Amino acid sequence: MKLARLLAIAISMNALMLTARVPAYAQAAPAASSSPALPQGWDPKIPLPPGVALVDSSVPKTGVVYSADFKVKGDYKELVNFYETELPKAGFMMSSKVAFPARKVYNRNFATGGRLDSVVITPMPNDPSSFDIHVAWSPEPAASKSATH
């Protein structure tokens, strides 16, 4: 009986240790059916890391630049690596980049179809384990109606 109890305790402790080693970024991955809410005019080609939540968005009053802020728990380097790999995979040309790892700030411009978009990652001021992902984009122009007639 004592051996069974010791074995149960050892298994429980191992399970707790394994759970503690999984980074918050990996734990936050949503199921495929729980896609994040997306703002009006969103370009679906722009990748979003797992676990993001839409915080705020704006529709342009003039011009064509939309913007949105997402919050995500994660690791700065993992988020930067996500955008450095996923933007080209999505068909975007990489443009200028500014990164300050000591301050956990990253800005990457990316382009497609003559449109220049950007993503900015900054730490949330009141939650150092979370980041704000600010995306500014111009949606793809709708096909002209005269071309369909």
- The 10s digit of each residue's pLDDT in 106-147 is 999 999 988 999 999 999 999 989 999 999 999 877 653 344
* Per-residue model confidence (pLDDT) at position 19: 30
- The 10s digit of each residue's pLDDT in 17-26 is 333 333 333 3
Q: For residue 105, give the CATH number of its domain.
A: 3.30.310
Most confident option among 54-68, 78-92, 125-139: 78-92
Would 133 be classed as within a structural domain?
A: yes
Query: Which domain range does residue 61 map to?
Result: 2-141
pLDDT band at 149 (very low <50, low <70, confident <90, very high): very low
The per-residue pLDDT of the chain, averaged, comes to 78
* Per-residue model confidence (pLDDT) at position 63: 80
Would 147 be classed as within a structural domain?
A: no
Would 146 be classed as within a structural domain?
A: no
Predicted confidence (pLDDT) at residue 27 exceeds the cutoff of 50: no
Would 149 be classed as within a structural domain?
A: no
What's the total number of domains in the chain? 1
Would 53 be classed as within a structural domain?
A: yes
Would 46 be classed as within a structural domain?
A: yes
3-state SS string over the chain?
Answer: CHHHHHHHHHHHHHHHHHHHHCCHHHHCCCCCCCCCCCCCCCCCCCCCCCCCEEEEEECCCCCCCEEEEEEEECCHHHHHHHHHHHHHHCCCEEEEEEEECCCCEEEEEEEECCEEEEEEEEEECCEEEEEEEEEEECCCCCCCHHHHC
Most confident option among 40-44, 59-63, 116-120: 116-120
